[in-house]
Structure 1
Amino acid sequence: MTSRGDLADLVRRAAEAQANRHEGLVVAALRGERSAVHGTGSTGGTGSTPDGDTLFQIGSVTKVFTTLALAAAVTRREITIDTPVDDLLGMPSPTADPPITLGHLAAHSSGLPRLPPGVLLRGLRQRSDPYRGFGPDDLVTGYSRARSRARPGRRFRYSNFGVALLGEALARHAGTSWDRLVAAEVTGPLGLRDTVPHVRPDQQDRRATGHSARRRPVPDWDLGAVAPAGGLWSSAHDVLLFLGAHLEPGGSEVPDALRLVQQPRFRANRWMRLCLGWMLTPLRRSGRSVLWHNGGTGGFSSFAGFQPETGAGVVVLSNTARSVDRAGMGLLEELVHGAATP
């Protein structure tokens, strides 16, 4: 049986192994009822060491919050996974047969390009904040002009554009904004007080400053209408709570939605399947499958993953634009198969 000290030591070693690569870093893990958090480096603002309450922009880990909002609406039977996105946006799909569905957008099988039309050129002009000024009208207009690169449901094609459209479609269906939708469907029911699209005044002193891969301070990204695909801020404690809800759905206010997002829907390749937002891959040593997602913006990187059968979960957040995937997946494997396995 793993002791609290064993888990804390694994987390500490995982964080310290990455310390030289990141301005600041927080690693957090849970195993059953036990959890541990360790921070290294600097928040970059006050110069203090980041901890479980420090706020980071979590990039594409935001996607699994948006897809959980989808699952919540599906489990209430308001819409289905197979509802065409056209029905919610009120405009024709780039492909008429079959139409692009909400499920296609959530599982990256819509065939839509990675970025909305026009964003790449915009990004070249304003590299420090490539999505700034890109609004909902730009997003929907881009959808009307987009060309599907593959028949929906046939191929995996990772698409920020697709998940941004999903968020906008769900918000329009609910008659609200994506910000309020996520608060009502996800962060509110799960008690995630520090997971927000915009850092509140009362959170400012806990906010990390983003850094480039060379560890130079950089401006925060304002993702505009692409926020459903990457715009949330959160803390290690909040993301750990989020993973814990997935591991024990019955203890939450949205158990059916939490179970639904974990069901495989589409095979991307030999090694990876797509659920609703989550990616499902086997670990090398144990062969057990883990659900995970990573993220990155101009000054931050993130990883969140969990293994349902063993009750293991890992969060890694950094205020540096360097991948933390290896650290996150490595620790998750340790928890599942290594010294921390009962």
Structure 2
Amino acid sequence: MFRDPASAALTALGEVLGRDLRPLRGPLRRALAHGGVVGAARGEERVLRPLGGVPAEGVFELASVTKPFTAALAASLVQAARLDWDAPLAALGGPLRGVPAFVTPRALATHTAGLPLHPARVGVTTFTRFHDPYGGMSPAAVVASARRWARPGGRFQYSNLGAGLLALASAYAAGEAFSAAGYGGALQVWVTGRLGVEVTLMPTSALVRPGGWEGQTTGFGPLAGAGGLFGTAGDLLTFGAAHLSGGVVTPWPVPQRPAGLPPALSGVAPGWFARGAVRWHDGAARGTRTALGFHAQTGAVVTVLARGGLPLLGPRSAVSALLLALLEGDAN
């Protein structure tokens, strides 16, 4: 007997999350209209459900879901006394000299360093280098941009520039090269290698991508720590669960409530948005949409990886909306 794949996926997810998820059939179909993977874990239970011909272990561009990994690297270095959340980044010396004193690892990880979303040149390179808007920059240019544009005050302003700078600074603090490759090496030593996940700066197997112009991967150049990682849904569930179990990934800190925080958020923590007991992050590359989150009270971890970029028409937040609906449920 034929069974709708979306309904079957929701049944399997509901068995892990302990809820009747049938009302989410519409949101699931919207989020994964062109295929993808949805996964959930709680305790020892875990399920991955692919839709639309996508393999369950398919590798995706993680886009801005990279940022929680960058924050986890910084947290591991803080725990090892190689980095201080609240010390000026310039105190690391070397290539970071001259960065304003109010720019700290915590400010970068919580988007409160007064930095813009992108370096100014992206106003041009979005058109001239559509799939690689940061590729023409050097790490030194990232620092120069931060020196020029950082503003004090601690107001929330989401920033790829800030996340990318944090990744470079973390690489330097870890003793690696001050580069995207150095960030990748530090991440493997301090976070992903310890967790046994293959989240990397280069896809380790066939990449899930749409056809046409969306099928080209998005380059992040020296700002790789803002969105340049690749991984699977299973990798993300392992990483999310590590925040609940402690050990390799330090437990999440208490969220801040800076001025300028969007109304939908109750706070922001390093690498994560907060809404009640839920911590999550979402992202979008040219041909991928992603989301990962966990519920601090129920112990649930959920990820949604969708093939296809942001739609020109229709809801643009379908992936994050599905993630939050799966996580919050009756517990919100």
Q: TM-score range by the shorter chain?
A: 0.7 to 0.9
Q: 2:83–2:173: 8 Å Cα contact kept in structure 1? A: no
1:163 aligns with 2:163: yes
2: CA distance, partners of 1:25 / 1:14: 16
SS of residue matched to 1:142 = helix
Paired residue type of 1:90:
L
Q: 1:112–1:161: 8 Å Cα contact kept in structure 2? A: yes
1:316 aligns with 2:304: yes
1:84 aligns with 2:88: yes
Gaps of 5+ in 1: 42-48, 283-288, 338-342
Find the counterpart in structure 2 of residue 46 from structure 1.
Answer: none
Find the counterpart in structure 2 of residue 286 from structure 1.
Answer: none
Q: How does 1:129-168 map to 2 (within 5 A)?
A: 129-144=132-147, 146-148=148-150, 150-153=151-154, 155-168=155-168
CA pair 35-16 structure 1, distance change in 2 beyond 3 A: farther
Q: 1:243–1:306: 8 Å Cα contact kept in structure 2? A: yes
CA positional deviation for 1:335: 7.2
CA positional deviation for 1:134: 2.8
1:274 aligns with 2:268: yes
Find the counterpart in structure 2 of residue 181 from structure 1.
Answer: 186
**Equivalent residue for 2:118, pick from 111, 115, 124:** 115
2: CA distance, partners of 1:92 / 1:307: 39
SS of residue matched to 1:120 = helix
Q: 1:11–1:29: 8 Å Cα contact kept in structure 2? A: no
SS of residue matched to 1:52 = coil
Q: How does 1:11-160 map to 2 (within 5 A)?
A: 14=24, 17-19=27-29, 22-41=33-52, 49-88=53-92, 89-93=95-99, 95=100, 99-144=102-147, 146-148=148-150, 150-153=151-154, 155-160=155-160
SS of residue matched to 2:112 = coil
CA pair 12-187 structure 1, distance change in 2 beyond 3 A: farther
2: CA distance, partners of 1:141 / 1:335: 47
Compute the RMSD of aligned alpha carbons: 2.5
CA pair 10-129 structure 1, distance change in 2 beyond 3 A: farther
Bigger shift: residues 103-112 or 130-139:
130-139
Find the counterpart in structure 2 of residue 295 from structure 1.
Answer: 283
CA positional deviation for 1:266: 4.1
Q: 1:19–1:25: 8 Å Cα contact kept in structure 2? A: no
2: CA distance, partners of 1:5 / 1:140: 44
CA pair 69-5 structure 1, distance change in 2 beyond 3 A: closer
CA positional deviation for 1:55: 0.5
CA pair 68-12 structure 1, distance change in 2 beyond 3 A: farther
Q: 2:60–2:288: 8 Å Cα contact kept in structure 1? A: yes
CA pair 68-241 structure 1, distance change in 2 beyond 3 A: same
CA positional deviation for 1:189: 0.7
SS of residue matched to 1:172 = helix
Paired residue type of 1:109:
T
CA positional deviation for 1:73: 0.9
Q: 2:77–2:173: 8 Å Cα contact kept in structure 1? A: no
SS of residue matched to 1:258 = coil
Count of matched residue pairs: 302
Q: 2:131–2:219: 8 Å Cα contact kept in structure 1? A: no
SS of residue matched to 1:188 = helix
Q: How big is each residue's C-alpha offset from its partner over 1:172-224, in whole Å with a ceiling of 9 and x where there is no partner?
A: 2222100101111111011112x111013xx13xx20146xxx8643111111
Find the counterpart in structure 1 of residue 15 from structure 2.
Answer: 7
CA positional deviation for 1:135: 2.8
Identity %: 30
2: CA distance, partners of 1:90 / 1:316: 36
1: CA distance, partners of 2:143 / 2:123: 16
Q: 1:134–1:223: 8 Å Cα contact kept in structure 2? A: no
Paired residue type of 1:331:
L
**Equivalent residue for 1:264, pick from 236, 255, 261:** 255
CA pair 53-139 structure 1, distance change in 2 beyond 3 A: same
